[in-house]
Amino acid sequence: MLKKERQAYILHQVNLHNKVLSSSLCSEIDVSEDTIRRDLQELADEGKIIKVHGGALSHSFNHVHFPVNGVYSQNQKRAIAQKAIALIKNGMFVLTSGGTTIIEMARSLPPQLKATFISGSIPAVLEYMHHPNIEVILVGDKISKSSKITVGSEAIAKIKQVKADICFLGTNAIDAQQGITDNDWEVVQLKKAMIESSKKVVCLSIAEKINTIQPIQVCALTEIDALITELNPGNPALQPYVEAGIEVL
């Protein structure tokens, strides 16, 4: 990895997460801590970031000591993202929906990961695009402005053409009886196609969406292979899903 490339990655991470730990950086990119520190120093000298003990901060969030809680449930989503990333191996074909949890996952993907990501979500694709080693396939069709993803028969047809290794679904509502449900008919159609086209279906959901129901069903619990939340897998709230035969992470 080139030095400039590394610094671009660091800068990207800082702007995204508003902070960055040099320890985590040096394990993500595989270099010594000294190198990271020197990079941070250079970026700080250029005024791009603010160097602090243990890492660096984004410039914008310097003046106002904004609580990290600025984005809705970002910490929980980040925890989910970390668990999800562990499932992605080099060379995989990965199908993803949209949603803030998926975005958080996209932002946290390690730079050395080589994989192919397929999605119709504009924000997700924007994130994938920034990663050096990821191939991005964009599913085209009419854009739904509310959900910022492509919807329609063309998109569904394209998704049905692929057979992905794994599929990550951002979830609006999940319930032990009703399975996954959502409130946008077109998005539901798309998610159904994604589930069909994947060997393994992984559902990402923050705890507060567990045991909630939306009007339209995406799929039953039986079609899900794994469920990832920010909770400990042993948490009693997750027991119904364990009993339903889902791998809870």
Partner DNA sequence: AAATTTCCTGCAAAAAAACGCAGAAACCTG
Partner DNA sequence: CAGGTTTCTGCGTTTTTTTGCAGGAAATTT
Which range of residues in 26-34, 93-101, 167-175, 195-203 is near DNA by CB under 7 A? 26-34
Over the window 120 to 159, marking each residue x when it contacts a second copy by CB under 8 A and - when it does not, the resulting string is x-x--xx-xx--x--xxxxxxxxx-x--x-x---xx--x-
Q: By three-state DSSP, how is residue 128 classified?
A: helix
The full 3-state SS of 45-104, as one line of letters, equals HCCCEEEECCEEEECCCCCCCCCHHHCCCHHHHHHHHHHHHCCCCCCCEEEECCCHHHHH
Q: Does 8 bind a second copy (CB under 8 A)?
A: yes
Instruction: Say whether residue 6 binds DNA (CB under 7 A).
Output: yes
DSSP state of 165: E
How many Å apart are CA 114 and CA 128, to the nearest integer?
Answer: 11
Least distance (Å) from DNA to the CB of residue 24?
Answer: 9
Q: Give the nearer residue to DNA in terms of CB position, either 55 or 120.
A: 55
User: Side chain identity at 89, as an amino acid letter?
Assistant: K
Cα–Cα distance measured from residue 97 to residue 119, given in angstroms and rounded to the nearest whole number: 6
Q: How many residues bind a second copy (CB under 8 A)?
A: 38
How many angstroms from the chain centroid is the CA of residue 153? 25
Segment interacting with a second copy, rule: CB under 8 A, options 48-56, 106-114, 163-171, 179-187 = 48-56
Distance, CA of 134 to CA of 147 (rounded, Å): 24
Among 8, 52, 79, 207, binds DNA (CB under 7 A): 52
The nearer residue to a second copy, 9 or 241, going by C-beta atoms, is: 9
**Which one of residues 12, 16, 19, 31 is an interface residue with DNA (CB under 7 A)?**
31
Among 8, 16, 21, 207, binds DNA (CB under 7 A): 21
Q: How far is the CB of 148 from a second copy (least distance, A)?
A: 7
Residue 4: Cβ within 10 Å count: 9
12: which DSSP letter? Answer: H
Q: Which is nearer to DNA, 24 or 153 (CB)?
A: 24
Q: What angle do CA 117, 224, 217 make, to 5 degrees?
A: 100
Asked if 154 touches DNA (CB under 7 A), the answer is no
What residue ranges bind a second copy (CB under 8 A)? 2-5, 8, 18-19, 21, 50, 52-55, 57, 61-62, 120, 122, 125-126, 128-129, 132, 135-143, 145, 148, 150, 154-155, 158
